[in-house]
Amino acid sequence: ETGVTQSPTHLIKTRGQQVTLRCSSQSGHNTVSWYQQALGQGPEFLTYFQNEAQLEKSRLLSDRFSAERPKGSFSTLEIQRTEQGDSAMYLCASSLGGPSYNEQFFGPGTRLTVL
């Protein structure tokens, strides 16, 4: 069974550039959540998908951020016009959705540095 994978592992961008982060959920899982983790802080929720539907977006998710989860197991988080404040670890988590909570399995993260 393959766990949650994320790519790339590290990314260095210049302010103003666009970035796309990718997440592949664990086999059989139908939900994906994205989190942003600044250095020395806990993860902050960004958005949540069940199947292809984006069910919740945090106020942290500014209009420069967009996410999608087309059919299949992968999801993408795109950041337009990156700013230095976007520098953080971006975490993806997947779970088997349903009426009761199922454990979220986290990927290793993508560390984004914006210069």
Contact mark string toward another protein, 29..48, x via CB under 8 A: --xxx-x----xxxxxx--x
For residue 90, the minimal CB distance to another protein (Å) is 12
User: Where would I find the H helices in the chain?
Assistant: none
Taking the least distance from each CB to another protein, the nearer of 52 and 56 is 56
C-alpha angle 103/112/30, rounded to 5°? 30
If one asks whether residue 75 binds another protein (CB under 8 A), the answer comes out as no
Whether 44 contacts 61, CB under 8 Å:
no
Binding site for another protein (CB under 8 A): 4, 31-33, 35, 40-45, 48-50, 55-56, 58, 91, 93, 95, 97-98, 101-109
